Chain A
Amino acid sequence: MSKPQTWQDVPLGTVAFGASALKVETGLWRSIRPIIDLKKCVSCLRCWVQCPDMSIMVDENNKVTGVNTFFCKGCGICAHLCPVKAISMHPESEFIGENADHGEDPGEVGAHVR
């Protein structure tokens, strides 16, 4: 759907149509990133249940495969509740120069506040 060009085209009642949040890269707000050690992970799915942004990725057998960094805001709930301590949080500055095909280079986030 193209963006409305006049007030007459703006949907009534502040309505936004379904699934619009899929396009919002909340991962840009993240300052620390969860890294899952898949060797330690037992796929108990506690992190999958508790993640507020549905950012824990699982395969068709419900095995944890990693974190969706497009949405993950870096709240750290997953790392906090992991029973086998398979998840650790790392500052985004450790990922400087990472080849991201969208948004800004996570390693450059700190540049704005210097």
Chain B
Amino acid sequence: MSDKKHREMTSGNFAFAEAMRQINPDVVAAYPITPSTDIPVKFAEFVANGKVDSEYVAVESEHSAITACVGASVAGARVMTASSANGVALMHEVFPIAAAFRAPIVFGLVNRCLGAPVNIHCDHSDSMPERDSGWIQIYCEDAQEVYDTVLLAVRLAEDKDVLTPVFVCQDGFITSHCYEAVEILADETVKKFVGERQAQYPLLDVDHPVSYGSFTMSEYYFEIKRNQMQGMYNVPEVYTRLENELAKETGRKYGMIESYRTEDADYVIVIMSSATGVVKDVVDEMREDGIKAGCIRVRFFRPFPREELVRLVTGKRGVAVLDRCSSIGGTSPLAAEVKAALYGLPQRVPVQEYVFGLGGRDFYPRDAEKVFTRMADGDYSFEPRFIGLLEKEKKVDDNGWN
């Protein structure tokens, strides 16, 4: 119980579970996997102790978990679940179906690298392959942001102009398991904010029967996809409205993209999730050394906040994109988005792609420092660079290839 707004020491996972308790979803179907295990485990405890009215469906695999979620969601229920890594990958087949059914599921995705080799630590190789599954993707920096974002995600997903499922992502172990002070709202405040789901075409409304997912050939498949795109395009306006509403209770706003000291910056690092704090610290230090550094944190990866990014980066002398995910044989996901967004600029801004933190490899202030100094030295390459990788030194040739 949370009678009034208070602060407590908790983790990203437990903050997510606490938000779930307050939201009291109709159905949760989950198959626990590290590092998101705490979420369904804690929630199952709430169910067992009568703290929520939810139907908790214990299933035999992640594929079954998300399938049960889709069924419950189109039936008209408010549905939540959580997973990580290979569990997310096993669900892959069902994600585009959930999105096309406009099933507003809220999903706690605790980022963990995809095996093999088996590794439980953080990178974004589990969520990034889902970027084209039609789900909204929000990446949180800390546990407070996770808590606030879950509340927002419920309203955002269910909004009639959006009706799209949401991944609320947080970095495995770094955010999910570290304890920090989190402000928890009163149960009553959350209940009022999230309200009840008003499903448009609930499958259980037998007086108005509908079918979901009927065979649809080339005559309308394309139009259904275009309709999904519109749901995504409507996110910025709806999200801004919801965030303003919740901020009256919390005093906190995150936006779809966060900028730190970018206004007068020459050199900017673009990054996501928990590693942002390190970069912000280094930005302050670089400025003491006379390098005008700045940091942009991409919070929404889908829909990608292209216009805001372009506005923030226009006129800068250099941009370094730090991806916690690689696209083997291609451009890393965040770098690809940033480069695509900046292509339309009349004045080209050089962009350097970096890959860092794969499989939980640590990211240090000295790494961010080096990224800034290389930009200030005009040292760019057409190829990705790797932070913290054990590798032989390479020379940069005249064409800028390292």
Give A residues with C-beta under 8 Å from B.
4, 6-8, 10-21
Residues in B whose Cβ lies below 8 Å from that of A19: 209
Closest to B199 in A: A13
Task: Please state if A7 and B227 are interface contacts (CB–CB under 8 Å).
Answer: yes
What 0/1 pattern do residues 178 to 222 of B give for CB contact below 8 A with A? Answer: 000000000000000000000011000000111111101000101
Task: Please state if A14 and B223 are interface contacts (CB–CB under 8 Å).
Answer: no
Q: Given B74, B102, B201, B223, which contacts A7 in the complex, CB threshold below 8 Å?
A: B223
Q: Given A13, A17, A20, which contacts B100 in the complex, CB threshold below 8 Å?
A: A13
Task: Please state if B208 and A7 are interface contacts (CB–CB under 8 Å).
Answer: no
Could you list 27 A-B pairs, sorted by A, with CB under 8 Å? A4-B220, A4-B223, A7-B222, A7-B223, A7-B226, A10-B220, A10-B223, A12-B102, A12-B163, A12-B201, A12-B227, A13-B74, A13-B102, A13-B163, A13-B201, A13-B212, A14-B100, A14-B101, A14-B213, A15-B212, A16-B210, A16-B211, A16-B212, A17-B210, A18-B210, A20-B211, A20-B214
Chain B: how many interface residues by the 8 Å CB criterion? 22
Task: Please state if A14 and B209 are interface contacts (CB–CB under 8 Å).
Answer: no
In the bound complex, how far is the Cα of B80 from the Cα of A33, in angstroms?
47
Residues in A whose Cβ lies below 8 Å from that of B74: 13
Task: Please state if B220 and A18 are interface contacts (CB–CB under 8 Å).
Answer: no
Q: B224 at the A/B interface (Cβ < 8 Å)?
A: yes
In the bound complex, how far is the Cα of B133 from the Cα of A27, in angstroms?
36
Closest to B225 in A: A7
Residues in B whose Cβ lies below 8 Å from that of A14: 100-101, 212-214, 216, 224
In the bound complex, how far is the Cα of B211 from the Cα of A19, in angstroms?
9
Task: Please state if A15 and B211 are interface contacts (CB–CB under 8 Å).
Answer: yes
Q: Label chain A's interface by main secondary structure.
A: mixed
Task: Please state if A13 and B101 are interface contacts (CB–CB under 8 Å).
Answer: yes
Q: Given A6, A10, A12, A20, which contacts B200 in the complex, CB threshold below 8 Å?
A: A12
- A sample of 15 more A-B contacts (CB under 8 A), given A8-B227, A15-B212, A20-B211, is A7-B222, A7-B226, A12-B200, A13-B100, A13-B102, A13-B163, A13-B212, A14-B100, A14-B213, A14-B214, A16-B211, A16-B212, A16-B214, A18-B208, A18-B209
Residues in B whose Cβ lies below 8 Å from that of A20: 211, 214
| A5–chain B nearest beta-carbon distance, Å | 10
Residues in A whose Cβ lies below 8 Å from that of B100: 13-14
| A16–chain B nearest beta-carbon distance, Å | 4
| B188–chain A nearest beta-carbon distance, Å | 32
In the bound complex, how far is the Cα of B101 from the Cα of A11, in angstroms?
11
Residues in A whose Cβ lies below 8 Å from that of B103: 13
| A95–chain B nearest beta-carbon distance, Å | 27
In the bound complex, how far is the Cα of B100 from the Cα of A13, in angstroms?
5
Residues in B whose Cβ lies below 8 Å from that of A4: 220, 223
In the bound complex, how far is the Cα of B226 from the Cα of A6, in angstroms?
10
In the bound complex, how far is the Cα of B214 from the Cα of A17, in angstroms?
10
In the bound complex, how far is the Cα of B212 from the Cα of A11, in angstroms?
11
| A9–chain B nearest beta-carbon distance, Å | 8
In the bound complex, how far is the Cα of B212 from the Cα of A14, in angstroms?
6
List residues 221-254 of chain B with CB under 8 A from any CB of chain A.
222-224, 226-227
| B90–chain A nearest beta-carbon distance, Å | 23
Residues in B whose Cβ lies below 8 Å from that of A11: 201
Residues in B whose Cβ lies below 8 Å from that of A15: 201, 210-212
In the bound complex, how far is the Cα of B200 from the Cα of A14, in angstroms?
13
Residues in A whose Cβ lies below 8 Å from that of B226: 7
In the bound complex, how far is the Cα of B103 from the Cα of A14, in angstroms?
11
Closest to A21 in B: B211
| A101–chain B nearest beta-carbon distance, Å | 25
| B302–chain A nearest beta-carbon distance, Å | 18
Residues in B whose Cβ lies below 8 Å from that of A17: 209-210
In the bound complex, how far is the Cα of B206 from the Cα of A19, in angstroms?
12
| B197–chain A nearest beta-carbon distance, Å | 14
Residues in B whose Cβ lies below 8 Å from that of A12: 102, 163, 200-201, 227
Closest to B211 in A: A16
Residues in A whose Cβ lies below 8 Å from that of B102: 12-13
| B69–chain A nearest beta-carbon distance, Å | 15
In the bound complex, how far is the Cα of B224 from the Cα of A12, in angstroms?
7
Residues in A whose Cβ lies below 8 Å from that of B208: 18
| A30–chain B nearest beta-carbon distance, Å | 18
Residues in A whose Cβ lies below 8 Å from that of B210: 15-18
In the bound complex, how far is the Cα of B160 from the Cα of A13, in angstroms?
11
In the bound complex, how far is the Cα of B210 from the Cα of A17, in angstroms?
4
Evaluate whether A6 and B101 lie within 8 angstroms (CB atoms) in the complex, with A12-B163, A19-B209 already known: no
